[in-house]
Amino acid sequence: MRVIHPLDRDWAPSSECAAIKDWIDGYPDRDKEVLRSLASLKRREAWVWSPEIGFGPQCIQFPLFATYDSFAVPSGESAAKLKGWAAVDLEEVKAKLAIVVEEAEANDPGKLKAEIARLRREIAQRDAAGRAKPDPQALTEADWQGISRGFRRCGEFRCCAQRASRRATRSLRMI
């Protein structure tokens, strides 16, 4: 790339240009041309040399970079595409922001921790107030209902077992 300032082109042994001069000394027919043109290179121009592939030194023109410039004044189509404040639907923006705010509040770690602490206190208060004691009569009644169901099931099982036993006996008599 170009080297414009005279101090940059100072040929003292410690300067960068001295390094450039030492590097291109292998091409005595082109070195003066390269060194003279360093200050006059245009934007996007550079001398390229790659001895490994036998290329150069040759003056090459590179394309300009296309980057976003946030300070550039809009022009042409880009200026026409921009919306003014009057074209923005503020109610739509408020609705979208309300959803985001609501979601952020619902997932706020501080509020969630406070809710967990409050629920733990409620549980502790209920435990301290005493748990409801079971009704002995209701327990006895439930026990008897369970025992009755068990007897009915046993009776059903006994009937099934008797039928299976009769079938097996008949089968053995046939053999």
Q: Give the pLDDT score at 115.
A: 92
* DSSP output for 69-112: -TTSPP-THHHHHPPPGGGS-HHHHHHHHHHHHHHHHHT-HHHH
How do residues 45-56 score in pLDDT, each as one tens digit? 888 887 778 787
Strand, coil or helix: 172: helix
Q: Give the pLDDT score at 98.
A: 93
Q: What is the mean pLDDT of residues 132-149?
A: 81
Is residue 152 within 8 A of residue 144, CB to CB? The reply is: no
Domain ranges of the chain: 1-71, 85-129
Highest-confidence segment of 19-28, 76-85, 111-120, 146-155? 111-120
Q: Give the pLDDT score at 81.
A: 63
Give pTM, 2 decimals: 0.33
Q: Give the pLDDT score at 51.
A: 74
